[in-house]
Structure 1
Amino acid sequence: MDQNNSNFYGYNFEKIADTIIRLGVLFLLIGWCYDILKPFVLILIWAIVIAIAFSPVYESVVKLFRGKKILATVFLALVLLSILVVPSVLVSKSLYEEINNLNISYRAGEHLIPPPGESTKDWPTVIKPILDIWKSASEDVSNVVFKYSDQLKVVGEWLLLTLAGIGKGILQFIASIIIAMGLLLYSESLTAVSKNIFTKLIGKNGEHYAMITVATIRNVVKGFLGVALIQSLMVGAGFFMAGVPFAGIFTIICLILATIQVGVGLIAIPVVIYMFSVTDTTTATILAIWIGITMISDNILKPIFLGRGNPPAPMLVIFLGAIGGFLYNGFIGLFLGAVILTLGYKFFLSWIEIIEDEKIEE
């Protein structure tokens, strides 16, 4: 009896030790693979998001090119890269020219900041402190810089870090678009693989979660990120056409605000007010009308892209995802964070529904 027990415990120990060693080797291999791919994880995830979001568009382009997938892939890649690269070049050029003009004006002893116009005399008294700072800065900007040096230092450091992060994010976007086009080229086999992965990880409900993933990603990219991009492009076009100083920086800030669902008005409205005081009335009025149209477009575009009464997630989820992603992963995280958190939210709701359905069946 004792011999049988010792054999039983010995067999169990060997089996447990064998399992632990196998798991250890498996975890080591997975960890090693992750360390190798770690610099590319964000790029790969965003590439998958782009591929899923643009899959219907890709299928239409393939039909347009009569089934020639390679030509369709190259065409779509060039379109997406143009949408990303052209505005980036214009913003960079605008920023360089504005800084260069400021440098020239400073050396020539000219006003770096234009003084408040005559129309500002009729503005409400509550804005008087801002007008006083504005007037002082237009007369001698060095005094204002010295007076608010600590605050300006913090803002300047944040701005430099943000611009550097945006530059890195644009390069990541370019890499993600190229990888996404490769994924779309082999989309049929990848669709089958993804369904198998979900089924292996989740079980019988794997295909259900796969469908939720695709639908959620497309809704968020179209209904929130797409609308934010369109609005920021509209605002940027208005700023550039009206000759707004530092139009590039203001456009980037509007893109961030639109993505986190705060809206472009937080920057666009003060810019319009400023333009009324420093430029002719016609230009400022046209800009104000264009900004108004842009702000209203949010209520028109979202129902078109999302469908009425079918939001993928509450605004708070999008807001927290975009802000958290931006703080954690930089510029690319601004977009990816909103997608991932919304996906987690939809998974949680679906999981609750499945549990409730199982309870009802029992």
Structure 2
Amino acid sequence: MSAQNSDSPHWFTKHAVDAAIKIAVIFMVVIWCFEIIKPFIMPIVWGGIIAITLFPLVAKLSKKSGLSLGRSSALVTVLSLALLLVPAFMFSGALVSGTQDFIGEIQEGTFVIPPPKESVADLPLIGDKLYSFWDKSSTNLDNVIKTHREEIKNLATKGAAVLGGFGMTVLQFVISIIIGGVFITNTKGASDVCHKIAVRLAGSYGAEFSALSVATVRSVVQGVIGVAFIQSILSGIGMGLVGVPATGIWMLAVLILAIVQLPPILVLAPIIAYVFSVESSSVAIMFMVWAILVSASDAFLKPMLMGRGVDIPMLIILLGAIGGMMMSGIVGLFVGAVVMGLGYKLFIAWIDNEPSNVSQDDTVDTEVK
């Protein structure tokens, strides 16, 4: 007995050092794995969101066409990539050719800016300055370029940086869509892993939280991002019909505003003023009515697309979208809104649950309505 007691400190020290080394090694491996996977975290998260959103469509296509789930997933993935890449290539091609034509006309001296209408001067706040600058540009463009050479140079530099960021964003979306397709193809394995993780983290509430997570992701994607896409496309149709320059950029601005839950009219109002200055009154009035309808369309689109019981406060979506964009660019704008919405719903579900009143069997069998 005395020998065992005398060996106790040595035994404790030996096992404590052994445990510390094991913990340190595990910690190092986890950190190492995290650093390796860090560049792919956002595409993987967005890929999971895409998979959750598109799975009902893939399952329905597989059932109606008789194709396997893998082939249906591949078909939807290819179509999604086409919907992303075709407009991106068209936009890039039009931008490059337009820039080359613009530079060529400037160098040859054939570029002409039409004089402004008198109504431009009547615009509130910026009317006089805009009219003066526009008038000078239409009569003596060379002098305006020489006067504002530095500002134009800085603007061109920022524009090139934005284009580079646009290319990286498209690449991230391509990677995310492919990852989403892989997740859908292996949906049973991915679902089982997620379910086990949820149960491991939340115990008896894991199954309920897992189902709630799926419902929230689909709701936010359809009700927030889906509505934003619809408003962006409708805005682009209206601007394209009246010949608004740089329609693609304005569509992107409308998309961003709609995602952060701000009315698209903030972007469309200056464009309405521009259309009134260059088009006839009847055309301008029709475009104004169209822009107002597009801006107000979320009032009936969101109830149609968002699921019941998963409404999320505007502030949560706003913080998620802006924070995600600051962290990871345009992709973060989408992911941040969804992840914050999901986190909010899980937090509310967690604080609303009362373990003393809910049995384990009742919780596991709970379905999200």
TM-score by length of 1: 0.88
Q: Give matches, 1:302-313, under 5 Å.
A: 302-307=302-307, 310-313=309-312
Q: Which has the larger displacement, 22-31 or 46-55? A: 22-31
Q: Give matches, 1:40-189, under 5 Å.
A: 40-110=40-110, 113-120=113-120, 123=123, 127-141=127-141, 157-189=157-189
Q: Determine the C-alpha separation between the residues in 2 that align with 1:304 and 1:63.
A: 25
Q: Which residue of 2 aligns with 1:327?
A: 326
Residue type of the alignment partner of 1:10? H
Q: Which residue of 2 aligns with 1:216?
A: 216
Q: Which runs of 5+ in 2 are unaligned?
A: 359-369
Q: Cα deviation per residue 1:75-123 (whole Å; 9 max; x = unaligned)?
A: 2112212221232223223323432343233234355543322443554
Q: Structure 2 vs 1, CA of residues 158 and 359 (structure 1 numbering), >3 Å: closer, same or farther?
A: farther
How far apart are residue 163 of structure 1 and its match? 2.9
Q: Give matches, 1:24-39, under 5 Å.
A: 24-39=24-39
Q: Structure 2 vs 1, CA of residues 271 and 204 (structure 1 numbering), >3 Å: closer, same or farther?
A: same
Q: Give matches, 1:286-297, under 5 Å.
A: 286-297=286-297
Q: Which residue of 2 aligns with 1:241?
A: 241
CA RMSD of aligned residues (A): 2.7
How far apart are residue 172 of structure 1 and its match? 0.9
Residue type of the alignment partner of 1:191? S
Q: Which runs of 5+ in 1 are unaligned?
A: none
Q: Determine the C-alpha separation between the residues in 2 that align with 1:283 and 1:26.
A: 67
Q: Cα deviation per residue 1:112-150 (whole Å; 9 max; x = unaligned)?
A: 543322443554577333333333343345665666677
Aligned residues: 358
Q: Structure 2 vs 1, CA of residues 230 and 315 (structure 1 numbering), >3 Å: closer, same or farther?
A: same
Q: Which has the larger displacement, 73-82 or 128-137? A: 128-137
How far apart are residue 215 of structure 1 and its match? 1.5
| 1:227 has 2:227 as partner | yes
How far apart are residue 164 of structure 1 and its match? 2.0
How far apart are residue 292 of structure 1 and its match? 2.5
Q: Which residue of 2 aligns with 1:284?
A: 284
Q: Which has the larger displacement, 275-284 or 290-299? A: 275-284
Q: Cα deviation per residue 1:2-26 (whole Å; 9 max; x = unaligned)?
A: 6444322322222222221221221
Q: Determine the C-alpha separation between the residues in 2 that align with 1:112 and 1:318.
A: 44
Q: Which residue of 2 aligns with 1:317?
A: 316
Q: Which residue of 2 aligns with 1:353?
A: 352
Q: Determine the C-alpha separation between the residues in 2 that align with 1:90 and 1:326.
A: 25
Residue type of the alignment partner of 1:343? L
Any conservation in 2 of the 1:216–1:342 contact (CA below 8 Å)?
yes
| 1:200 has 2:200 as partner | yes
Q: Determine the C-alpha separation between the residues in 1 that align with 2:8 and 2:175.
A: 56
SS for the counterpart of 2:204 is coil
Q: Structure 2 vs 1, CA of residues 108 and 345 (structure 1 numbering), >3 Å: closer, same or farther?
A: same
SS for the counterpart of 1:312 is coil
How far apart are residue 185 of structure 1 and its match? 1.0
TM-score by length of 2: 0.86
Q: Determine the C-alpha separation between the residues in 2 that align with 1:39 and 1:121.
A: 50
Residue type of the alignment partner of 1:321? G
